[in-house]
Amino acid sequence: MKKAGLLILLMCFVRMLAAQDSTSISYSEQKDSLAPQLVVDKYEKIFMTMVPTRHMFKVGLSQYYQALFFPLIQDGIITTTSLHLGYEVKVLPSFSLALSGHLPFYAQTFPLKSALNYTVVDAQLRWFVDMKKRIRSGTGVNNFSGNYLALNYTATGFADYFNKNPSFGVKAGFQRRVLNSGFMDFAMAMQQRENFYYGLFYGWTISTQATVGFAIGDWKKTKVGPLCDFLLCDPLLNSQWKLRLPEISFGFRVRKGKAGIAYEKKIGSSPFSLNYQFDIGVNSTWNYMDTDRYSPESIENRYRLAISTELDASLSIQPRYYLLQNRQRRNGRSGNGLSGLYAGIHTEYNDYRGRHNIDITGRNDLVLHNKTLKAGPMAGFQQRLFQKGYLDFNASYNLEKRYRDPELSFGFTTYLGVGLAF
């Protein structure tokens, strides 16, 4: 009986001790919001989304604002690029008026007076579709960084019959201020070139358009932070795929497109890499062709209207050496990446097939099929941009050998690639 009583007392004592500690321990996990906020801050500083702006003057380079097209065999950076001069003003928080002129460069053999006649003048009424919402939510202010839809009117120098009609149409694009003094603008445009003379669905042209350059305006300069927030300065990359942004013009008397893809692989941890690249271009267009090589005439008449059908494909392999990588690595400023100045050797196999009807009758077609090997020294610059973008520019001076042609020739080759990298 005593033992039973002692057992009951012991149990009561233990329950009393347990009742004194009623604290419970629980675990929870809370996500860190610092990393997403850092991304937002970088975006605001790079593209100036929180800097009010009402006036902006722009000077830069534009692509595919040309009144004239050239065949692929004579096409290049210079024949698709123009000097861009522009002014944009905000009329309402979500609307702006953009005026611009595009002076083409063309080639050294193209008379300057004729090039001036083909200057393109463009006027746009832009609606920044998300600007009002961003202002209300506090994620943006009244400026020119945003996505837009536009009505536009385009006129040329009225130099010839095929380009005398002004055109109008619609555009969808995005424009961004870049740091304190830059801008970029990419758009897809749909233009009506015949004023509906042949019907509602005839005479349209769809094309990609790009403009980059410097900008000045009524904004206050702000501290932008390290440039490496914009440039991916220190990536630990051993390889990368590069997808070049396509260049497209399709519609009224023009069906033209270019695309390219590349793969680059580092050789160990050294500054050497191998870049494999494939580019292709197709063209079926009323364009102007330099006929001096095939039928020499005076400089005023050497550029003649032609109907061209072409396919141009090239495969290149480039051993590259990144010049400053070892020194930057010793100074602790660079990783094992694929950005910076480089030198190397350009090797290329090009297969070109084209038919050009120069007199627009079909009786005197110029048919070309060129298989060409190229090799020569190269210099260039490549840079990763904001995680998923890249820019690659290079120039090479090549020894060129055409199939079944005993003569050798020399010539420059330039390349500009802008697009996505992953």
| Between residues 293 and 201, the one the model is more confident about | 201
Per-residue confidence (pLDDT) for residue 83, from 0 to 100: 87
pLDDT(15) > 90: no
What 3-state DSSP class applies to 100? strand
Residue 330 confidence (pLDDT): 75
Reported as a pLDDT band with limits 50, 70 and 90, residue 299 is very low
Domains 37-222 and 231-422 agree in fold: yes
pLDDT in tens, 380-397: 999 888 778 898 999 999
Report the alpha-carbon distance of residue 375 to residue 346 in Å, rounded.
5
Contact 192, 166 (CB under 8 A): no
Question: Residue 35 pLDDT more than 60?
Answer: no
pLDDT given at position 239: 92
User: What pLDDT does residue 287 have?
Assistant: 82
Higher pLDDT, 290 or 238: 238
User: What is the amino acid identity at position 71?
Assistant: P
Which has more confidence, 344 or 203? 344
pLDDT, mean of residues 162-184? 83
Q: Where are the domains of the chain?
A: 37-222, 231-422
Note the pLDDT tens digit of each residue in 258-285: 999 999 999 988 899 999 999 999 999 8
Within 8 A by CB and 6+ apart from 11, the residues are none
The answer on pLDDT for 252 being more than 80 is no
C-alpha to C-alpha distance for 327 and 317, rounded to whole angstroms: 26
- Percent of the chain beyond pLDDT 70? 74
For the 231-422 domain, the top CATH level (class) is: mainly beta
Domain 37-222 fold = Porin (2.40.160)
- Residue 302 is predicted with a pLDDT of 67
For residues 348 and 378, is the Cβ–Cβ distance under 8 A?
A: no
pTM confidence score: 0.76
Q: Of the given ranges (28-32, 71-75, 79-83), which has the lowest mean pLDDT?
A: 28-32
Angle at 288 between CA 252 and CA 412, to 5 degrees: 120
To the nearest whole number, what is the mean pLDDT of the chain?
80
Task: Examine the pLDDT at 157 and tell me if it is beyond 90.
Answer: no
If you write DSSP's letter for every residue of 245-296 in order, what string do you get? EEEEEEETTEEEEEEEEEEEEE-TTSSEEEEEEEEEEEEEEEEEEE-TTTS-
